[in-house]
Structures are given as structure tokens and as C-alpha cells.
Amino acid sequence: MHESTFAGCLRHPLPELGLFACFVGFVWWLRGLPFIRAYVLPPGPYGLPWIGYTACLGNLDCANGFEEMQKLKVKYGDLVSFTLLGNTVVVLNTSEMVHEAAIKHRPQIGRYTLTTNHWLAQGDGISNYDTPRALELRLAFFRHLYGYEDMINYLGDNGSTSEIRDTVQAETKRLLLSLKNNCGIPTDVLPLARYTVWNIMWKIVFGRSCDLTREQIEHLLDQISTNNTENSMLQLIQLMPKQWLYILDRIPWAMKLLGMDKLNRRYTEVNACLRAQLKSYEQSQDKSPKALLYRLQNDQRLNIQKKELERLLFEMMAAGTDTTSLTLTNACAYMAECNELLTVSGLDKHMDRIHRQASVVPLALPHVVRQPIHMSGYHIPAGSIMIFNLYAIHQTQMREVCPMAAMPFSIGSRACPGQRLANKVLQDIIRAIDQNFSVQIDPVSPPNRTENMRTGEPHARISRGLTLTPTKTVFVFHTR
């Protein structure tokens, strides 16, 4: 009798299935209620238990991870979340959300320090930390960079004389001469752009011309650029507790497996050269207030330490030079596609388009949510890693009639401190190239494409690291 009853239950599961379906539907309905939704994370993919959604790491291929972030935007919408190794990751895919997070919630959001960046910086500098000392250094940097009279005259274009303007014009003329000598010949613009921007930055920082050879400068810039393209937030090491670095430092094979040995070797080489140049500067007799280093060192209130100055020097010469050069190279591609003189219709409107097309730092620098916040009705818990998907935002803006301003330097607490200077230098150089040359994409040179390590298929616009490589760097210039 019991067996027949049990068999009958097996033959008629509909009541149980109906109850289960009703329960699932009720829970799903509850998720849509405002008071419940306020405690629900934004939509996103599910991953393995305790491990999370590892597809965004791209396995061994960070480029595939970058592509995965763009697919998540298409699938889940403007606000996406997922868990990864115990971390909640939230991705913002619209300019409205980025503005809300960076401005409205600025007190609740700070810098997320990438593990490899912390390992290299050792607690110093202005780009990685939210400590009181880092804030003090950032304020001093702003004060001494933009409060200097010569810089005010240059940025203001008020007709006053400016040594910085003279430096930019001199280096731009040197660049134009190189392009003229290669007129009609396919020319790789990226190394020329790097060399030009490096010399401008050097004069601003040291107050004098760089005495390194061109070969030395190009080698240093190549080391910097390679690190920027290989050091990505979409890597396993970036999510590891920073306390583990003490152990990793003592296990060479583990560092090699994670690629940290190469990052360290390049960073050490560049840093050693800059330290030697800083020592030479300090021993020289021609120091003057026109050098940013001089103004920082003589700020009695700041009392900057040597290791702080060395790290700040690296950040000024490395970050600013690489990103500005990449944007300048993308500007040449834009000029090749544009059928008019940029200066005729106003360069300002074209700069936004250039920045959108370039998206040099496509995912910006990551933030950390320090206090719980709500966005679009969803709950974002404290400790979440927040990513601004500037690449997706700029791609959307390129299809809009009246888009919001581009955000090439990000916004909020992680906005690039040198953005005003970088934008002015870019405008001056782009204007000079546009007035002197028509630009043509070299039809023979293949685009910069890298292969997916798993499938062998090429990526056209990808990012393996913090920066996005231009699709084209070789152009043909014709004098107007």
C-alpha cells in the first residue's frame, strides 16, 4: 500500500511543480519591489561558487577579458555587477552613471589600489592612494603646476610671454620637420609623438632640456608603454590581498608565472634612469623656479621626501607622456578620415571626437566603494570595485547627435591631474599638423592587431592593460 502511494506520487508531480513555480514567481515578483530592490545588486552574470565570474579575466588573454566587459554591457545594460574571488565588481556603462558616481557619491568612493601598482610604488605617489599624505601631495602638485605664472600664461593664451609656450612651439617645429622630411613616405607617428611629448614634459619638470640621447629616450618610453599595455586590472594578481606580496616577493617562480618579474624589471630600469637624472639636477647650479621639481622641493610647508619626489617624477614622466602620445597618434587617424581642416570648423569640437575615438584609458582607473550607495535603485555594498567603462560610453557617444562631453581623463577623484596641460599641448600640436599637412592612412601597413591566445583570431580594438593601443600608427603626410 505504501509502495503504491509512493508510485502514485511519482506519477503525479504536477501539484508539487505548481507550488514550486508559484514560489519562484513570488520571489521574482518580490525582487521588483522598490524596498526589496534597494538591497539587490545590479544585474550581471553568475560564476562558480566562491570563485565568481572568471571570464572577465580572459584566462591568459587580457584582451579577451576586455572584450568580455563590452559583451556584458550589451547583455545586461547600463549597470552590471558580478563577483570575482570574493570581490563585488560593478561596471558603469553610461556617462550619466559615471557622473552620478564620481560627483554625487564622491565622498563614498575612493581609489582602488591595483596590487601590482602598490608593489611598485611602495606606498608613495599621488595616483594610487587616498592617504592624507597622498592628498597633500596632490594638492601641492596642482598648486605648483597650475599656480605658476608661466603656466597660467600658457594655458590662458592671454598674449603674455611664456617659456612653456616657446618650448611647445620648438618641439612642435621639430616634429613638423621630421614629418616634412618623410613627406609622402609612410611614417610611424607613435615614436615621434612620444619623443615630442617627452621633451615638453622634461622641460616643464626639470626646467631645462633633456640630455639623454634619442635612443635612450625611445627605449625608456618603450619600457613605460609596454608596462602600461600589460598591467591590467583584469588580472588575477590585482585581486589578491596585498599582504600576499610579502610572500610573492620571496617566490621568484610565482612572480614569473604572474608576469610580475617583467613589470618590475622595466619599472626598475626607468626609475633608475630618472633617479640618476634627479641626482644630476640636484647637484647642478642652474636650478630655477621654472622647474616644477624646484618648486616642489622648496615648498617648506610640503617638506617633500626624496622617495616621494622620485615616485612623483616617475608618475609625471611616465603616465603623462604615454597617454598624450597615444591620443596624438589617434588624432592623426582622425585627421586622415576628416575631409576638412579641423581649424576651419573649430578645433574644440573635433577634440571631443578625437578623445572618443582614442579612449586611451578605456576602463579608467578603478575605484572602491567605501560606504554603501544606491544607484538606479540597486544596492552597491561597501568594498565593491567600481569600473568606469569609458570605452563603451565613448562608443555610444559617437552615434549620438548631441552627446555629453567626452571623459578621456576620467572624472572625480581619479581624474588625471595633468589633464588641462595635456589637452592644451594636444591642441597646439594637432593644430600645427593640421595646418601644415594633409594626412593619409598608409594603405599598405596592416593595422595593429593582436591575436586571441586561445582562438588565434585577431583583435582590432583591444586593451590588454591600462591603455588602449591605436589601430593605426603609420600614416603618409603631404604638405598643404
pLDDT at position 14 is 62
Q: Would the CA dihedral through 398, 404, 408, 414 be positive or negative? A: negative
pLDDT at position 446 is 64
Q: Which three cell numbers stand for residue 141?
A: 602638485
In a domain, 23, yes or no: no
Whole-structure pTM value: 0.86
In a domain, 277, yes or no: yes
Q: Can you tell me the distance from the alpha carbon of 27 to that of 30, in angstroms, rounded to the nearest whole number?
A: 5
- Rounded to a whole number of angstroms, the CA Rg of the chain reads 26
In a domain, 106, yes or no: yes
Residue 115 in contact with residue 83, Cβ under 8 Å? no
pLDDT at position 345 is 67
Q: Can you tell me the distance from the alpha carbon of 217 to that of 212, in angstroms, rounded to the nearest whole number?
A: 6
**Domain range enclosing 289:** 45-479
In a domain, 14, yes or no: no
**Domain of 66: which CATH number?**
1.10.630.10
* pLDDT tens by residue, 101-118: 999 999 999 999 989 999
* pLDDT tens by residue, 288-307: 889 999 999 999 999 999 99
Can you list the residues of the chain whose pLDDT is less than 50?
A: 1, 4-10, 33-38, 60-61, 449-461
pLDDT at position 458 is 38
In a domain, 17, yes or no: no
pLDDT at position 232 is 82
In a domain, 297, yes or no: yes
In a domain, 146, yes or no: yes
pLDDT at position 12 is 54
pLDDT at position 448 is 56
pLDDT at position 452 is 36
- Known binding residue 56? Answer is no
Beta bridge partners of 188: 474
Q: Can you tell me the distance from the alpha carbon of 473 to that of 441, in angstroms, rounded to the nearest whole number?
A: 9
Domain count along the chain: 1
In a domain, 79, yes or no: yes
pLDDT at position 95 is 94
Q: For the stretch 117-136, what's the b/e string if a residue is b when 16 or more beta carbons lie within 10 angstroms of its beta carbon?
A: bebbbeebbbbbbbeeebeb
pLDDT at position 99 is 94
